[in-house]
Structure 1
Amino acid sequence: MSETQLSLDQVEVAYGEKVVLRHLSFTLAAGEIGCLLGPSGCGKTTALRAIAGFEAIRAGRIRLNEDVIASPHRQWPPQQRGIGMVFQDYALFPHLTVAGNVGFGLEGLDRFTRRAKVMELLEVVGLTGHADDYTHALSGGQQQRVALARALAPSPRLLLLDEPFSNLDVELRERLSHEVRDILKARGMTALLVTHDQHEAFALADRIGVMEGGQLRQWDSAYALYHEPADRFVADFVGEGAFLPATVTVPGELEFELGRHICRATLDSTPGQVLQVLLRPDDVLHDDDSSLKARVVKKAFRGAQFLYTLALPSGSTVLSLVPSHHDHAIGESIGIRLEIDHLIAFH
């Protein structure tokens, strides 16, 4: 089992009477990349600032390796925590070259060692030919790489990234997410980012925490968040899907408009109880031979696939991802069938 690098235990942050973080607890193993994901105002950036040392905590404790770096009684100053940070706006120094920015935190090294370290990091982030350029001459993606190299230069114990790709266009954001993950993994770096973009979270992180109202709703893998959400908020926030009313027939089984299905979540439920089942777009398959029919009411082209919104006979709607060579017209009825590994139901 990997050694735990970062641990938050029942952390609370408040501004006067307003509690911004409540009972925040999670752990991040050495070499893991974690993510706090949630809408604006959910407390994720406050959590990052508390870990960095920019916000005091009112309850709980934050541990980095074996050191308690924050508690209500003692707060380590930011500069003593051994934490690197990549800010949302990169916070680069315009009067310094790329090499000057990257080497800014290496003042304790002699000139030759410092230059060698800087050039090594520029090679890691793919900016070897830009050492003597000024940052205003770089693209947004290149500036983001400079900020990453500068944060990595002092060999921090933990790297924090605050919405690191929010200023970039969608295509560049996706590509850089994968590249940054590769860089961090190659260096064995433990990292935590915050974002409101689930695609960034899925591309970068090993463990993701969904936050809402200052609380952590679920801390899990991307797969588990999507297929096994802990509650209705997580189910709504992560991925796409539709909810259908369902009735418990016997413990462990549900019946709804699309048939009877096994559902482990209802093992403690009583027959006749009405729940809501979650159907993801990949649960609803297009099948011309199926006796179950649904009418196309909306369609969104996504290159290799269409995302169809389908109306069932009751008027309820479900979503379905269908290969794009199946180009059906609005109003057309198509055959569907369910293929579900984990049926999830909520009260």
Structure 2
Amino acid sequence: MHPLLEFTAVSHAYGERTVIDQMSFSLQNGEIGCLLGGSGCGKTTVLRCIAGFETLGQGELSLGGRVLANASMAVPAHLREIGMVFQDYALFPHLTVERNIAFGLSALARSERKARVGAMLVLVGLTSYAKSYPHELSGGQQQRVALARALATKPRLLLLDEPFSNLDVDLRERLSREVRDILKHEGVSAILVTHDQHEAFAVADKVGVMHGGRLLQWATPYQLYHEPVSRYVADFIGQGVLVAGKVSGPRCLELEVGEFCGLLPLGFETGDRVDVLLRPDDVVHDDASPQTAVVVSKVFRGADFHYTLALPSGQRVLAQVSSHHNHAIGEPIGIRLELDHLIAFKQE
């Protein structure tokens, strides 16, 4: 199966400053991808290169096997069959919702255009707002109009640039799930850009972690969380703490909280000093365990507590504990590790 989008060894610079550095990834038909990273990492520039708003310094970009751009040519943006939803939605304030959605459909016969706009209004749940103007809508409704307008032209690929950043947290979570459902319903492939990993994990099938213009890992959210390829990705995704350990034998690892065998990935030698990533869900509260840690701080989150615990050495770890276990700060509690996915890096 050929990928829908192929982004191959692309580099892009503004003057002397390299913004995208030899970046490659691909997206299958019907997949939703996400570029995740802090501000200035190059993720929006990647979107602009795909859309046709930037030229490629090096590399090649193709959609459905058709080359859209390389260092010597570029198909104009309006001929790429790519839709875009901007951060500020970019709706036309003087047009009603239905006329905003119809904007890119001038080539269709009037009856077809009307049917397509009607179908889009149903899809995004805004049928009763067809005659309203953008300023009469909430932020979430404006976002859905922008999505409907982009989908109305039946693009092969949809690009979304920080689409939920102007919304409050609750609405952001709900809308990110809604947008995923709409895209899956329409069978549209999409690429989302965000700095928010909750959003990335809620919407995307594949997530790419970017840093300094480079793509560090392109994988499923599950793989990023449990199988990060570098310290940066391990640190960036989810919460966790790196604790010191030593390789004590073939595939065995010694940590302050005990020895673990059979888990260590290949490529380490006895005596190697390593840093092991411990996630809050790796540290299990167990009253029967001889190993204890002292509660340093805690955050109550309804269904669970998020504890920061100090081991005897002073090393701190995080633990996610059922909310029925309410322990006082300064209290020692029994813990054990459940290392189903051991993530270790050689110490520098």
**Superposition pairs for residues 98-137 of structure 1, below 5 Å?**
98-137=97-136
Q: Is the 8 A contact 1:57 1:72 kept in 2?
A: yes
Deviation string for 1:31-81 (max 9, x for gaps)?
Answer: 000000001111100000000001111111011001110100101110010
Deviation string for 1:5-27 (max 9, x for gaps)?
Answer: 00111000011111110111011
**Superposition pairs for residues 52-201 of structure 1, below 5 Å?**
52-201=51-200
Which residue type is aligned with residue 159 of structure 1? L
**1:304 counterpart = 2:303:** yes
Name the counterpart of 1:223. Answer: 222
Q: Is the 8 A contact 2:265 2:342 kept in 1?
A: no
Measured in 2, the distance between the counterparts of 1:320 and 1:245 equals 17
Q: Secondary structure at the match of 1:105?
A: helix
Name the counterpart of 2:278. Answer: 279
Which residue type is aligned with residue 164 of structure 2? F
Measured in 1, the distance between the counterparts of 2:100 and 2:261 equals 58
Q: Is the 8 A contact 1:13 1:58 kept in 2?
A: yes
Measured in 1, the distance between the counterparts of 2:265 and 2:128 equals 60
Q: Is the 8 A contact 1:296 1:311 kept in 2?
A: yes
Measured in 2, the distance between the counterparts of 1:206 and 1:4 equals 14
Q: CA deviation at 1:265?
A: 5.0
Deviation beyond 6 Å, 4+ runs, structure 1? none
**Superposition pairs for residues 319-338 of structure 1, below 5 Å?**
319-338=318-337
Q: Is the 8 A contact 1:13 1:22 kept in 2?
A: yes
Deviation string for 1:203-235 (max 9, x for gaps)?
Answer: 000000000000000000000100110000000
Q: CA deviation at 1:302?
A: 1.1
Deviation string for 1:253-273 (max 9, x for gaps)?
Answer: 210101111365553222211
Measured in 2, the distance between the counterparts of 1:236 and 1:176 equals 27
Q: Secondary structure at the match of 1:308?
A: strand
Q: Secondary structure at the match of 1:100?
A: helix
Measured in 1, the distance between the counterparts of 2:249 and 2:290 equals 25
Measured in 2, the distance between the counterparts of 1:82 and 1:264 equals 47
Gaps of 5+ in 1: none
Name the counterpart of 1:238. Answer: 237
Q: Is the 8 A contact 2:208 2:219 kept in 1?
A: yes
Measured in 2, the distance between the counterparts of 1:23 and 1:300 equals 42
Percent of counterpart pairs with the same letter?
Answer: 61
**1:342 counterpart = 2:331:** no
Aligned positions, number: 346
Measured in 2, the distance between the counterparts of 1:3 and 1:134 equals 42
Name the counterpart of 1:49. Answer: 48
Q: Is the 8 A contact 1:262 1:343 kept in 2?
A: no
Measured in 1, the distance between the counterparts of 2:5 and 2:154 equals 16
Measured in 1, the distance between the counterparts of 2:238 and 2:5 equals 28
Name the counterpart of 1:24. Answer: 23
**Superposition pairs for residues 8-19 of structure 1, below 5 Å?**
8-19=7-18
Q: Secondary structure at the match of 1:161?
A: strand
Measured in 2, the distance between the counterparts of 1:303 and 1:54 equals 45
**1:206 counterpart = 2:205:** yes
Which residue type is aligned with residue 252 of structure 1? R
Check 1:187–1:211 CA distance in 2 against 1; reply closer, same or farther (3 A cut): same
Q: Is the 8 A contact 1:251 1:266 kept in 2?
A: no
Name the counterpart of 2:261. Answer: 262
Q: CA deviation at 1:342?
A: 1.2
Which residue type is aligned with residue 68 of structure 2? I
Q: Secondary structure at the match of 1:48?
A: helix
Q: Larger deviation: 109-118 or 186-195?
A: 109-118
Deviation string for 1:97-135 (max 9, x for gaps)?
Answer: 000100000011122221111011010001010000001
Measured in 1, the distance between the counterparts of 2:213 and 2:144 equals 30
User: How much is the aligned-residue C-alpha RMSD, in angstroms?
Assistant: 1.0
Q: CA deviation at 1:3?
A: 3.7
Check 1:268–1:110 CA distance in 2 against 1; reply closer, same or farther (3 A cut): closer
Q: Is the 8 A contact 1:263 1:345 kept in 2?
A: no
Measured in 2, the distance between the counterparts of 1:291 and 1:226 equals 29
Q: Is the 8 A contact 2:253 2:264 kept in 1?
A: no
Q: Larger deviation: 248-257 or 24-33?
A: 248-257
Measured in 1, the distance between the counterparts of 2:187 and 2:214 equals 29
Which residue type is aligned with residue 334 of structure 2? G
Measured in 2, the distance between the counterparts of 1:63 and 1:197 equals 28
